Amino acid sequence: MAQRNWAELRARAWSTLRARRRILVATAATLAILLPLGWMWKSSLVPETYDIAAMGYPDWGGGPVDEHAGMHHGTPVKDLVADPDRPADVRETLTVRVKDGHYTVNGTSPGPTIEATVGQMVEVRLVNDNVPDGITLHWHGVDVPNAEDGVAGVTQDAVGENEEHVYRFLAEDPGTYWYHSHQVSHEQVRRGLLGALVIHPETSEAGVHEQLAVLHRYGDGPTLNGEEGLTTVDTPPGQRVRLRVVNTDNGMASLWMTGTPFEVMAVDGVDVNQPEPVTGERVGVPAGGRVDLDFVVPAGGARVDFGAGPALVFGNDPTGDDRPPLPRDVLDLLSYGEPADLGFDPTHPDRTFDYDIGKRPGFLDGRPGMWWTINGHLFPDVPMFMVEEGDVVVFRISNDSDSTHPMHLHGHHAVVLSRNGKPATGSPWVIDSLEVPVGDRFEIAFVADNPGIWMDHCHNLRHAAEGLVAHLMYTGVESSYLVGGEPGNQPE
């Protein structure tokens, strides 16, 4: 009897032990999963207020390392301004209002077009009438001094309600540009805080009809200069036209012409060298990008179609009422026009950076999901691309994610060297906004000639708000502003 009790007790003790061990193993296994997840979650949290120069990690691109960079050491961003002694030649006041979630600039959207001539000093006074979140203006494609770049928390504080801010820059490069908010930009730009900027050459060709086409989706359908559908321009046969197209949307725009061949005169504000006439091909304009077309209105009229949306007719509509089909072939700027001197030698760059875009599961500011990565890293743990003034810089941008990305580097224009290993053979293809389709790989090059801290981000502004943002930073420059903080700076 006693023996049986003993055996029973022993069996019970064993089973308790086994049960405890199972709980222990299960607990350990759970912790093994939860602890790293917790750590990942915690390290993904973006502080409420932070210095962009202190975020992420420096990437020196194979060039010399400056140990002082990133610390408070050098010229403050706020001092990188245009010549303060030079009086303004062009003065504008832009007043921004928001009503029912829609933004207007001086009562309209797109806002007024700012026009200047090369060599003129432009001074724009931005007034925030009633936007509680604050606003800024970024001069998209204009290589302004850093403190005029309009990025909240990086180059200035957001302009609060009833406050104002003055931007000053020299109109140096003729071309088609635009302005838009870089405060809560994924909301404010989509909802109308934008307008065009045209810098004319010193001597404009006489007798050319200038036509602007600002493409924007306000939510419902695509619009052109704020209008849906067909816009007719009264031009006689034989009239030469310069059409300046600005894509202010988050996605690629396609345009094509019926009735006459055309030439692509300029891309992102930079003239194409010896453009050839184009027929039967469409032109892609990346988000944020611009193209200028040149054509002569024929007797039967000319028509430009923009994606599935609006169209411009010059004189008669050559298509009657039928909507012309979208051409299958896309004009390839990699081989368009004739080669010319780049002005620098990109074959032996001082720094070479990878900007590899991917997507993976993780936490973004504590939110679990599938997020964009830069070189495998999630925002804010992304590279800070470090350069020294005068460096020749090469970026290898590749897209291994499942979505196309229009990449935009502030403050600089870069030349496309190659796409998927195929070298550029046409006119120097100079860009500030480059569509990088899924699976593609571009090499671009530029000279680091504009000191500051410059955003280098996706211009699908939704993607930028989801962390597809990095910066290019010059050694010898220190930050002056904080993201977050009292002004509520929120650049994306």
- Which positions touch Cu ion (CB under 5 A)? 405, 458, 460, 463
User: Least Å distance between CB 455 and Cu ion?
Assistant: 13
> Which residue number, 460 or 480, has a Cβ lying nearer to Cu ion?
460
> Which residue number, 169 or 372, has a Cβ lying nearer to Cu ion?
372
> Which residue number, 44 or 399, has a Cβ lying nearer to Cu ion?
399
> Which residue number, 235 or 373, has a Cβ lying nearer to Cu ion?
373
Residue 58 near residue 384, CB atoms below 8 Å? yes
User: Least Å distance between CB 458 and Cu ion?
Assistant: 3
> Which residue number, 272 or 461, has a Cβ lying nearer to Cu ion?
461
User: Least Å distance between CB 247 and Cu ion?
Assistant: 14
User: Least Å distance between CB 405 and Cu ion?
Assistant: 3
User: Least Å distance between CB 410 and Cu ion?
Assistant: 16
**Gap between the Cα atoms of 492 and 181, Å rounded:** 10
User: Least Å distance between CB 46 and Cu ion?
Assistant: 19
**Token reading at 378:** 């999630």
User: Least Å distance between CB 385 and Cu ion?
Assistant: 18
> Which residue number, 138 or 186, has a Cβ lying nearer to Cu ion?
186
**Token reading at 250:** 């988050």
> Which residue number, 60 or 454, has a Cβ lying nearer to Cu ion?
454
3-state secondary structure the chain: CHHHHHHHHHHHHHHHHHHHHHHHHHHHHHHHHHHHHHHHHHHHCCCCCECHHHCCEEECCCCCCCCCCCCCCCEEHHHCCCCCCCCCCEEEEEEEEEECCEEEECCECCEEEEEEECCCEEEEEEEECCCCCCECCEEECCCCCHHHCCCECCCECCECCCCEEEEEEECCCCEEEEEECCCCHHHHCCCCCEEEEEEECCCCCCCEEEEEEEEEECCCCEEECCECCEEEECCCCCCEEEEEEEECCCCCEEEEEECCCEEEEEECCEECCCCCCECCCEEEECCCCEEEEEEECCCCCEEEEECCCCEEEECCCCCCCCCCCCCCCECCCCCCCCCCCCCCCCCCCCEEEEEEEEEEEEEECCEEEEEEEECCECCCCCEEEEECCCCEEEEEEEECCCCCEEEEECCCCEEEEEECCEECCCCCCEECEEEECCCCEEEEEEECCCCCEEEEEECCHHHHHCCCEEEEEECCEECCCCEECCCCECCC
User: Least Å distance between CB 129 and Cu ion?
Assistant: 31
> Which residue number, 282 or 463, has a Cβ lying nearer to Cu ion?
463
> Which residue number, 416 or 458, has a Cβ lying nearer to Cu ion?
458
How many residues belong to the chain? 492
User: Least Å distance between CB 182 and Cu ion?
Assistant: 16
> Which residue number, 453 or 464, has a Cβ lying nearer to Cu ion?
464
User: Least Å distance between CB 491 and Cu ion?
Assistant: 15
